[in-house]
Each structure stands twice: as C-alpha cells, then as structure tokens.
Structure 1
Amino acid sequence: MLDGRGETLQLKVERLVSAGSVRKVSGDVLLKVAEGSGGFLTGDRVRFVARLKIPEVYGLPGEFDYPRYLAYRGISATAFLPRAAEVVLIRQAVAYPVQRFFDRTAQRLGKYIGECYPEEGRILRALLVGDRGGIPEETKEAYSLAGVSHILSISGFHVGVIALTVYGILFRLLVRCRWLACRLNLRRVALLATLPPVVFYLFVSGAAPATVRSVIMIVVCTVALFLERENDPLNSLVIAAFFILIWTPQLLFDISFQLSFIALWGILVLTPLLLTPFHGIDNRFLKGSLTVLMSSLAATVVTLLPVIYLFHRASLAGIISNFIVVPLLGYGAVVAGFAALVLIPLAPVMAYPFLVCAAWTVRAADYAVVTLSRIPVLPFHTVSPESLILFVVLLFAITFVNGRFRVVLGLLGAAGLVLLNWPLPAATAGALRITFLSVGQGEATLVTFPDGKHMLIDGGGTPRGDGNDVGKRFLAPALWRMGVTKLDYLVATHDHPDHIGGLGYVAAVFPVGEFWETGAPSESEQYQALKGILRQKRVPVRSITSECRPLTIGGCLIEPLAPLPGDNEGAERDKNNSSMVFRLTYGKSATLFTGDIGADTEERLLAVPEKLCCSVLKVAHHGSRHSTSPAFLAAAAPQVALISAGRGNSFGLPAGETLARLWQRRIEVYRTDLDQTIRIESDGCREVVKSFADGHFH
C-alpha cells in the first residue's frame, strides 16, 4: 500500500534474532513493503530482516496519535522493507482453513481482474476484494480531493447495493413461478436467500467494520421481517454497533469505524429533514434524485467537522461527486463486478462482459474525479475540540427531538459552531516566533515574523526512505493547527532527504510566496519533484549565498553567510558543507541557522567571527561530532542551543562530544528528541523558550 505498488502485513512475532541471539517474544508487528506482493495468507510463517521501530508521538501540533491507533489494533512495533522478495515464506499454515480459503479466493479473483484490466483493475480490486495496494497515491489524492475516497474502501454501502441487487433479481425470478407464489412469502424467501452471497462478499472483502455493520443490519432487518416486527433503521444501526463493539471493543476508537457510523447516523437523521420541503413531488425519478442528493449532503455535513479535525482538510466537492461517482462505482462497477466475481471460478468467459462493463464505469468515474478534484478545498484546516463535543450533542438532540425544534436546534448549533471556530487575532502579534518542529531524524523550522509573515526552513524527512510522507503526515497538519494558511517564504538549506522530504507536499497544498535555495546543482529526485511543483505554481525562486545582500522581513534582518564562494561547484562537493547558513536578527536577539555544515565550513566562517554572534544557535548537522567546533562556539557565544534529532536514532545523534562542548560553555540545550517541538519567542530584547505539551506551548 505504499506508492501504489506494495502491501502491508500484520504479523504475530514468535522469535526475534538480534546480535546473534534468539529470543522468544510476543506481540504484533506492522510490516510495510514498498514494492511487490508476497501473496501470503493468514497463518503463513515468514522470516525477514528489518529494523523494528517502536511507534512514538513526535510532539507536534495537530499530530495524529499513531501509536495509540496501532495499539488498538494490537500492534507493538513497525518495520519497513523495500521489496516483498525480502520476506521469506518458511511454512504454510494448516490452521485457519476458512480464512485461508477466503484469502486465497480473494487473491485469485484479484489476479484475474488485474490480468484483464491492469489499469482499471486497481480500482476494481479495491471495490470488489478490498485490495487497495495497487492504487497509486496520486489517484487516492484525487479521490480524496473530490470527496469520494470512501468509495475506494469496501463499506456498508457496497454491501447494501449488492444485497438490494441480489434481492431484486431473486424476487423477480421467484414471482414468475405461480406455484411458489401461491405457497410461500416470496419477499421473505428472497431476503433470506440474499444472506449467503452477502456473507460471502463480507469475508472475501476482508470483513471491515463498516461491512460487518451493514451485514448485521441486513440480518436484523431479515429477522424483524420474519418475526413481523417493525424495523427502525436507527435501532438496527445501534444493534450493529453493539455487536461489533462486543466482539472488538477497541474499534470504538477506530477512525474509519467512527466516520462510518457518524455518516450513516447523519443520513438516517438528516435526510428526512432535508427532504421535508419536497414532500409534494410525485415524479419518482426526481424524488429519487433528490433523495440521493440530500443523502450525500447529510453525509457531508455530519462528517465535515470530524474530517477537518482528523485530516485538516475537507471539500464540499463530495456533494457533487457523490451524485456522479457513487452511482458509477457503487451501482455500476460494484454490481457488474460482483456478478463477475461469482462467474470467474465457474465460467470466466461469461464473467468477462461484466468486467468490461465494470471497467468502463471505472474509466468514467476516474474522469469525473479528476475534474471534480480541481474544486478548491474549504479554507478551514482545524476545528476546536469543543466544536466536536457540541456537534455530537447537537446530533443526539436532533435525533430524539421532532418537529420544528429540530430546525431551531440546527440553527442554534450552527451558530455556536461558527462562534467557536471564528478566527481570532494572533495573541503574540509584534513578536518573533521560531518553532523548531519535532519531525524525527530530520529538520524543519517555522519562523513567524512580527508582521505575521511565515517562513518554513526545511521540511523534515527520513535519511533512509520508509515510505512515509513527512509533509503529509506531520508537517502540513502541524502548520494548519498553528494557524498557518500561507508560506511567504519556503527555504531549502540543501537537498538531503531529511531536510526536503516534506517540502513537496507542503509546496503542493500551501500557497508559497517565494522559494529560497542555494543554487547548487542537484540530482535528487525529491528535489526535482519539489522544483517541478514550484514551477507549476509559478513560485519565484531566489538563490541565497554569502554574496547576497542582507534582507529585511517584518522588521527582522537576515544576513546570508553561506554557501561560500566555490561551495556549489564541482561534482565532489560536500552537500552538507554547502548548506545555506544565515543569521536572523530582531532587535537584540539573533538566531544562527547552520543547516548541516561541518568543521571545514565553520572554520571558513570564522574569518568574520562578528557575523556569527547569536543568542540562539541551531546546532549544525543534528549535533554531529564533526560540527560545532570549540572555536565556532566561542565566536557564536549563544545562550540557547537547539538540536533537531530523532529519538533513539541509529546515527547516535546528538554526539556526546558535541553535547559536552555545549555544556562546558554553560549553554542551555534543547533537543527535539527529548523536548519535542520547541518554540522561542522574542520581543527584540529577550527570548522565552516554550515546549509543546497537552496541545499548547508552555
């Protein structure tokens, strides 16, 4: 599921081999494979060599609590491999015969679909057998921007469509037999006969919580019909939630479970309310179209705040997209594809026409998605926790209140939500804020100037790629949560992946006023992709070297100090030593940004020691022992030093020698691996250091 070519495996660990010793352990590991698929089934015993990583919270504003998310799934650690071939199958299991049957069936069906339609088959495999591993990231992003990413995950909607289709076909076949019609309740028989194919689809598609919910609701509806009891959709929804949570209570904290139930809850409660003005319409087609439209509107409205809170981005394009894409994929591709699933094992030749129809609907849906994804997202990227509480209370009240009070409650609730999220002026206007973001073994710094302009220096990343987009997962949410909607200046000190890994996504989703670089030639694919995004958005580019004149931004003076003449030349140049270095001065406060320079560049900068003097030093190269020499420290003479490093990193950074040199000079040291995100505020006379905890800077 990485880059649209890999897969993700959840493994129960039995033995751990480390430093030549074998230990028996217990716990689950989430293994992410970047390319390929091993075709493994439930219960297979495998072996691989990878570094285990304990999930941790970096301590960023707006950060998703990934460790807690994994803990609810019973996962204790993660691992990463570039290729599936590095996972070795030791022995196939004899246990789990039922689950292995469905796994094998899903693999065979998915393989056949992929062979028939390599491109459209990626979406079809996601819709029919729950395999999203083949969908490219750009396709997922387009569906997300169009507001229909939910259609790519098998949900209760898919099950409901299949159930209604199977029921309708069976009922029409049964009523043609007069003998059966005279002796049986055909509606009950058809409904009962619908359950086996629906349950088959449930297990083949992976039994996701939303799918289980829908199957339980269908079973409840069937039982109610046989017992001649009135069936209330809300009661069925509650019963489904009850049984699912009894079996797996941790799903209460699962995002997909929450959004799925909230969406259906909103559809059941709000759709009748939204259709109230149209009760007089008799045209069946128009009434059906309005029902679909209002259901889409209801689902969008009730999930809007949770989606913004969790993902920091939402679009109203889903209201239109659901009206176009959902019928194409949900009714067209799913129904035709399910018919093909049934026929593939029995008569592949007969299945092919259905796949042709399903592939055509996928192509039409993709075209619509690409068009609709161009609709701008909403200009809101964060909401307060209080808003979510008010939202849930409001939804409860509307559920149990009838008549005009529903409308009154809705209007009052909407007004309250607007007031809670009304943007307030920045409390620290007139101050310089420098926020050193904790992004693991990478580096990213946000500078907010006294006039409110924002500069992002570097974008984090990982020295060894692990498939995670730091910009998407950490950096952009942090910026949005801190109220940043535009980056006036985007700075890349050099092109190493731990400094530019997140800049591509940030440049794509934020308006950027100007891009700063050293002007050095680069063969980095990440850097070339970043430059391509900037060219497409027509962002001006400025080369910053020691030969540039000082710049003034928001009352702050920026003095470029490096790269020095000759640093950017030659194939053998040291990219670290040719990093961008500059001093930012505001009143009596000065911060020295040093990139990843080493002792050689530090020695050359000592030619003009007075330009190094600062009150805050961003320690070079994550605290490497090859940087921050005693002479350089003596010239800079900082009061505070900041080191950006990942917790427990394999490089052993920051180095003990560097820390000793800082402590020897009695410099106050802050580290992102220990102190997490750190903010330094200055009024031009003195600095105040704050750390991020409990959702606030203290």
Structure 2
Amino acid sequence: MERPLLLPLLAFIGGLVVAGLADISLSARFLLPLLAVSLVAAFGARSLPFHAALFILIFLLGNLSLQPYLHPELSPSHVANVDSSQSIVMEGVVVSRPEMTDKGCRLLVQSERLVEADSDMPLTGKLLLFIDGGVGDILTGDLVRCRVRTRIPRKYGLPGEFDYPRYLAYRDIFATGFVASGDDIILMGRGVAYPLQRRIDAVARDLGRFMDTVVSPPENGILKALLLGERGGVAEGLEDAYARSGVNHILSISGFHVGIIALFLFHLLFMATRCSEFLMLHLNLRRTLLLFTLPVLVFYLFLSGAAPATARSVLTITVYVIALALQRETDPINSLLLAALVILGLHPPAIFDLSFQLSFLAIWGILVFAPLFTHPFAGKIGGVAEKGLLFLGVSVAATLVTLIPVAYYFHRVSLTGLVSNFIIVPLMGYGAVVIGFSALPFVYLAPSLAKFLLIGAAFLVRLSDWVIINLARIPVGTFIHPDRIDLFLFYSALGVFTFVSLRRLRYGGAALLAGALVVHLFCLPDTGAGKLRISFLSVGQGDATLIRFPGGKTMLVDGGGNARGGGSDVGERLVAPALWKMGISAIDYLVLTHPHPDHCQGLVFVAKNFRVREFWEGSEGGGYPEYSVLKEILAARHVTTRTVNAASQPFVIDGVRIEPLAPLQQSAEGGDDPSNVNNGSLVLRLVAGSTSVLFTGDIGAVTEAELLRRDATVQCTVLKVAHHGSRFSSSRPFLAAAAPRYAVISAGYGNSFHLPAPETVANLVRNGITVFRTDLDGTIEMSCEPHGRVVGIAATAGHFD
C-alpha cells in the first residue's frame, strides 16, 4: 500500500471522535473477539476482511483510550470529591513548572494528603491552583502546603464557548483551586520528586532572570516566550496584536521553532565536521549529525517547560530522523501519518488539542499545496526571488489550509497573516530565535557575549513588534461562521485531494466537497430570520442580553464582567465568542443600563472589536474605570451616543417598540453610592405585538415603587429579574403589576453574593412564574413572531451535560 498508516490512523481518530464529540462509549468486551477475528482474517486469501476487522479493532481501541478522560473513576480520596463549601489545607508535589500569567500564576500540584487538626488523610489527584501573585523559587518537584477552596470546573453555557472542563480533563485535572497570595504557599521540601526536571527548571529560571537584566519590557517578555516557553511576560495588548495579525503561533514554542533550532544545530555541526576527511569517508555525515541534534532537542524540550506542543514537535522530528538513520522510506506524508499515530497512541486526547490540529494541518498543507503554487515557477526565476516565492507559497498554503479550523475555533479570520508571516517569520524565527538560542549557553560561559546576542535578538523583536502593531490595525474578518459539518466537509475535501490516486476522481471529489462546503457556509437560509430573538447570555455573575430584531438589526444590553472589577476579560473570553458564534459582527445598539463592572466591563472589548452604530445609556457613569475606557473607545470610533431616560420618546426598531421607563431625568446624578447607581439603571420595555419583555438592570424596591407611583406600564410576558435576583428587588407589588409568565435571572454559579436570594425565587414561583436561571440553565433563548406569538423560550440544551 502507498499509505499503509492511513487506515489505522483514520480508524483510531474515528474512535476518538465518536467518544469525544458524540459521547458514545463502546464496551471493552468486544476487544478480544475482534482481535481473534483479525488474526484469523490475516491468514485468509482476501485482504478486505482483514482490513475491515483491523479497522473496527483500532476504532474500538481509540474509543476505549479516551474513556478514562471522559468518565473517570475517581477514588473517594480524590481532590475533586473534597467538600468545596469550605477551605482545606492540602499538601502535594508540584508536577510542572509554575506558569506565570498577567493575572498571577498557575501551579499544578499532585495532591498527597489532607491536613486536618486531629489527623491527616490521604489525598489523590491533580489540583490546578490559581494564585494571585508569584510563588518565589518554588519549582517542579517541590513539596508544598497551602489552604485552598477547591472548585469543580464548569461551563457557563454559551454558544461558541471553549470547553474548559473537558480541556482540563484531557490533562487529568478534575479540580481547581484559588490561593489569595503566593505567600500562602508554604514550601515543605525542595526537590522531593523529579530532581532532574527541577534542576532544568532552575536553569530556565536563571536564564529568564538574566534576560530581564539585559533586555527591557516588552521585548524581554517575548524573548522568554520564544526561548523558554514563558508567555506570562508578554504584554496583553501586544499578544492581542499578534493574534489579530495571524501570527500568534510565533509566540509559542511549536514545530516551527523546534524545526528551526534543529536545522540550525545541524548546519552548525556540519560546518564543524565537514573539514574532517576521516568523518566524511567513514560516516554518512548528514544522517549521523541529525541523530546528534536529538539529545539537544530533548534537553531544550524540558528547558522550555515540556509543553505538549513542543513535545509533539520534538517527537515528530525524532520519528523523521530515526527513519532517515534506518534508511527507511521518508515520504513526507507517510512520516506525518506516523508521527500523528505515535502522538495519539501516547496521548489520545491530543486529537482535540487545537495546537495539534493546526500544526499538522499547516504541515499537511505545506506538503500538499505549496508545490502546486511554486511548481510553475521552478527553475525559471532562480536566486533570492525563487526562494522568496517558495516562502510565499508555503505561507499561502499554511494559511489557506488552516482558515476554516481557525474560523471555527476563534470565530475570526485574519488574511493579513499572508503578509505578516512573510515579514515576521524571518525576523522572529530565523532571526530572534536563532540568535537568542545561541546566547543561552553563553549565559554561563561568556556572559558578555550572551548580552550582545540577546540585545541583537531584542532588536529584531522590536522591529517585529512595530510591524505587528501596524498590521493589527487592519480589520479582522468575521465573514464566515463554520460549524462541525463545515469542518467535516473541509477535512474530507483535503483527504480526498491528498490520498485518492486517480487524478480525475481526486480533483472531481475534492471540488464536489469544496462546493458543498461553500453552499453550506454561505447559501443556507437563516432559520431565525423574520423573528424577534433574545438571548439571555450566561456570563457568570454579570448581565448581558443579545436582541436580534426581525429585520436583522442587533442590540446588546450590558456586557457582563467581574462585579468587583479586575479579573479576566469577560468580553474577550465569553461575550465576543458567543456573538461571533451566532454570526454577529456588528452591534447596531450598544446599551449600558448602568456603569457597574458586572454590566460594563465586557462592553469594552465589544466596542473595540465590533462595529457599533449607537450607544445608549441612562446617565453619565461617574468614576468607574471600565466606563471611562468604554467612553474613550466609543469617542475614538465616532460612535453616536444617546442618553435615554423616562422622558425619551419610544423607539421603533424593525417593528418592535422600545419604551424607556427609567431613570427619571433628576436621578441622572446617582453619585458613586452603589444603591443610587443601581436605582438609576436604564429600564426598557420591549414590545412585539402581544409579547413584551421588561429589562430592569439592577433597580431596587425604591425605583420599582417609583415606577408604580407614576403608573408606568410594567406589564410583561418576560421579566428580566432586577439585580440578579436580589432580595432588595422584585417586590411583591411590582411583581403583581408586571404579572410575567416567565422570569430570567442572570447570576454566576456558586457566586459569593449568594444570588439569587431564595426568597426572591420563592416569591416568583409562588406567583406561578416559570423561572429560568443562567447559573443553572446556561444561556436562555427566546424567539417570537413579529405579531407577538412566542415560538419558544428555553435553556440552551446540552451545556451542562
């Protein structure tokens, strides 16, 4: 067979996909019968029964290999089974290098025992600790003790949401914890485990500190990312610029970096040994020297933190080099298939790792399509121009072949990658990486030379940053929104084009599948067109609602955020991906009910990355930092700002009437007192025929009473419950006047405010109101016809299964 590994690889991947995506678990009792059938079929006269039995056997092995990650049998002493309602004191061994972030530090600890007042109890399982601040000199293999409150990872329940719990499960992590400060991590013993890795981590720490003394920010952060795998020092804005320019991959130590270093080492060794006539006569110098690069690459793997992407890259190069050394066939596609099979055999969940998918797709595209782009010019140009054309062909091939997966996972497409790769790869890859890597051994041998080399690498990084910052200003496309069907069609087209040998069938089949992909992406009608659709987004302890009007206009009411300010960017992490997944690239009306962070924070990212036509607010927001940044962005982008209050006339959008009910004009100056700001929330009543939805922001009983005193029309079909279900809102007189059929409460799961209040929920239920909660149900979707008939209101299915 021309591709002997294709069948087993497809079978193994098929079993993994069925287990991971369809959640179908097969039984291990079929394993021995299938093995027996395969052995018998191997001695048969026909190959088809053997191949069929082998395919099913490997398919079953793939399915079984993923089940321990999806349905683990955790012992009673596992840290995931600890009562999370109260903090515990635990001891454990650090099993990987502390990972610095812009918010603090992540520390992965293998639990060993639970420390109690009277006695200690055994504790098992990995615990991922989030620490506010650094952890000093704690490294891999150290025994640590800390007080921590554990937490079971849980999805929010959003369209397009990254499945973080499963991502952790694939790394054998089923519980996380938070530690207030690095000072709360007590070092109980140095290097009690993994002594070799601890020594290597200490070397990496010293190298990083040396870089900090030689190179200033932000270049030092990028150099440490390129050379040591430490991305925590990369400035947030700069990392976003690299992502928008389509070259974020350059900041991770992946196959590209490892390949460049391997090539650099090979040429260095070749130049040092080619002068020896003895070596040239007695050895196949090229193959031998390739083998000598492997120990250095393995050491560099551990020096850079042994990240999965780096490990896969080193393994792929190792497979290829060993095949060369054994004088086996080194067909690039077969080598790629072998590497994929070895990696998935060692770590089956890697198939769902985005870096694995994109790395192999990029290499696949380069091997298959780059020759098609460059072949017509081969031998006709020559010199630097031909090499430049080859590089451009490689960049085009890698970009095009990853376009659909990137759009699926990141919901954005940056074609500027064609330009930025052409500039950044030579500057950063062949320049900064090679020069910086050359400096590392001289940190100990000749520090002055190391400084000189690092300054040169930093200069190239500075040039790269300047290019990226300017390229990042080019708008990022959001014109395609692929789903799993599109991914299947894309992979099928690529597979047919690569592996079908008959030319006519290869081109015809690939064209047919590509046409089906285009039709599915762009030509299918929107099933929700002509309806009013409201999505109450589950964004944790915050508030965000997307309204899609019958004519296609959009309104986003609030954007979620951290109630106490700071924390991760909810707009970037939750709100924007949900909007992109739903095909939203522009917001016609951006509405802020009031400027508290849990309503305003997420709007900052939205305002920066979406086209916004109008901004509505009830009053000026005072001194809240997020609000000030939001207004600056809106002003810079020349967005029309409108103050809306009870005196404003109703608005009509695509036949839907928007009635402003609050705040009163005189309540515009709420000051910084939280109750005043809450009671000054913008209240809107949305009316579509016989159906109405009342948005109440965070108003309390004072504003509710004022609305009733003014005889404001608060009757509604759906009530967006005020202040996340606080007991100081949703008073009985107000609920009696509103008389909703449905109520939606936006709250974070297990939030520290203990919202919604039990008495508020009980009061709603007592009034015969159907209650939906984002903390328990995820995103709530509602749709109705323009005349008002409610088509449906329900929680998004499957998010918390």
Q: Tell whether the structures are fold-level matches, with TM greater than 0.5.
A: yes
Alignment partner of 1:509 out of 584, 590, 609: 609
Give yes or no for the alignment of 1:545 onto 2:645. Answer: yes
Aligned pairs (5 A) from 1:383-462: 383-402=482-501, 404-405=503-504, 406-462=506-562
- Cα 1:182–1:448 change in 2 (3 A) is closer
Alignment partner of 2:140 out of 33, 42, 45: 42
**Whole-angstrom CA distance in 1 between matches of 2:762 and 2:315:** 63
**Whole-angstrom CA distance in 1 between matches of 2:773 and 2:210:** 52
Tell me, yes or no, if the aligned pair for 2:623 and 2:672 is still in contact at 8 Å.
no
Greater shift, 167-176 or 506-515, is seen at 167-176
- Cα 1:529–1:572 change in 2 (3 A) is closer
**Whole-angstrom CA distance in 1 between matches of 2:134 and 2:667:** 41
**Whole-angstrom CA distance in 2 between matches of 1:79 and 1:179:** 60
Alignment partner of 1:374 out of 473, 489, 492: 473
Tell me, yes or no, if the aligned pair for 1:5 and 1:36 is still in contact at 8 Å.
no
Aligned-residue offset at 1:101: 1.4
Query: Which structure has more RCO (C-alpha within 8 Å, separation ≥ 6)?
Result: 1
Aligned-residue offset at 1:23: 5.9
Letter in 1 for 2:764: L
Aligned pairs (5 A) from 1:78-117: 78-81=176-179, 83-117=181-215
Letter in 1 for 2:286: R
**Alignment match, 1:321:** 420
Aligned-residue offset at 1:254: 1.5
Aligned-residue offset at 1:415: 2.1
Aligned-residue offset at 1:569: 2.4
**Whole-angstrom CA distance in 1 between matches of 2:401 and 2:198:** 38
**Whole-angstrom CA distance in 1 between matches of 2:643 and 2:712:** 24
Letter in 1 for 2:792: V
Alignment partner of 2:262 out of 145, 154, 163: 163
- Cα 1:25–1:523 change in 2 (3 A) is farther
Tell me, yes or no, if the aligned pair for 1:676 and 1:691 is still in contact at 8 Å.
no
- CA deviation profile, 1:242-277 (whole Å, cap 9, x unmatched): 332233222222221222122212222222222222
State the percentage of identical aligned residues: 51
5+ residue gaps, structure 2: 1-98
- CA deviation profile, 1:10-65 (whole Å, cap 9, x unmatched): 22234557999976433223223454453421122334445433221222211221
- Cα 1:258–1:18 change in 2 (3 A) is farther
**Whole-angstrom CA distance in 2 between matches of 1:17 and 1:567:** 54
**Alignment match, 1:198:** 297
Greater shift, 203-212 or 399-408, is seen at 399-408
Alignment partner of 1:242 out of 314, 331, 341: 341
Tell me, yes or no, if the aligned pair for 2:590 and 2:612 is still in contact at 8 Å.
yes
What SS does structure 2 have at the residue aligned with 1:238? helix
Tell me, yes or no, if the aligned pair for 2:726 and 2:755 is still in contact at 8 Å.
yes
**Whole-angstrom CA distance in 2 between matches of 1:82 and 1:567:** 38
**Alignment match, 1:637:** 739
**Alignment match, 1:74:** 172
**Alignment match, 1:612:** 714
Letter in 1 for 2:702: D
**Alignment match, 1:276:** 375
**Whole-angstrom CA distance in 1 between matches of 2:435 and 2:117:** 54
What SS does structure 2 have at the residue aligned with 1:628? coil
- CA deviation profile, 1:204-237 (whole Å, cap 9, x unmatched): 1122333233323333343333333332222222
Alignment partner of 1:310 out of 394, 398, 409: 409
5+ residue gaps, structure 1: none
Letter in 2 for 1:689: G
- Cα 1:566–1:267 change in 2 (3 A) is same
- Cα 1:468–1:53 change in 2 (3 A) is farther
What SS does structure 2 have at the residue aligned with 1:380? coil
- Cα 1:50–1:473 change in 2 (3 A) is same
Alignment partner of 2:702 out of 597, 600, 616: 600
What SS does structure 2 have at the residue aligned with 1:504? helix
**Alignment match, 1:479:** 579
- CA deviation profile, 1:167-194 (whole Å, cap 9, x unmatched): 1121112122334434443323422332
Tell me, yes or no, if the aligned pair for 1:580 and 1:594 is still in contact at 8 Å.
yes
**Alignment match, 1:626:** 728
**Alignment match, 1:685:** 788
- Aligned alpha-carbon RMSD (Å): 2.4
Tell me, yes or no, if the aligned pair for 1:546 and 1:561 is still in contact at 8 Å.
yes
Tell me, yes or no, if the aligned pair for 1:470 and 1:502 is still in contact at 8 Å.
yes
What SS does structure 2 have at the residue aligned with 1:89? strand
**Alignment match, 1:362:** 461
Aligned-residue offset at 1:336: 0.5
Tell me, yes or no, if the aligned pair for 1:590 and 1:614 is still in contact at 8 Å.
yes
Greater shift, 140-149 or 230-239, is seen at 230-239
Q: What's the TM-score, normalizing by structure 2?
A: 0.82
Tell me, yes or no, if the aligned pair for 1:563 and 1:580 is still in contact at 8 Å.
yes
Q: What's the TM-score, normalizing by structure 1?
A: 0.94
Aligned-residue offset at 1:154: 0.2
Tell me, yes or no, if the aligned pair for 1:341 and 1:351 is still in contact at 8 Å.
yes
**Whole-angstrom CA distance in 1 between matches of 2:560 and 2:652:** 26
- CA deviation profile, 1:443-463 (whole Å, cap 9, x unmatched): 111112222211100111222
**Alignment match, 2:19:** none
Greater shift, 19-28 or 572-581, is seen at 19-28
**Whole-angstrom CA distance in 2 between matches of 1:254 and 1:681:** 35
What SS does structure 2 have at the residue aligned with 1:52? strand
Letter in 2 for 1:420: H
Letter in 1 for 2:215: Y
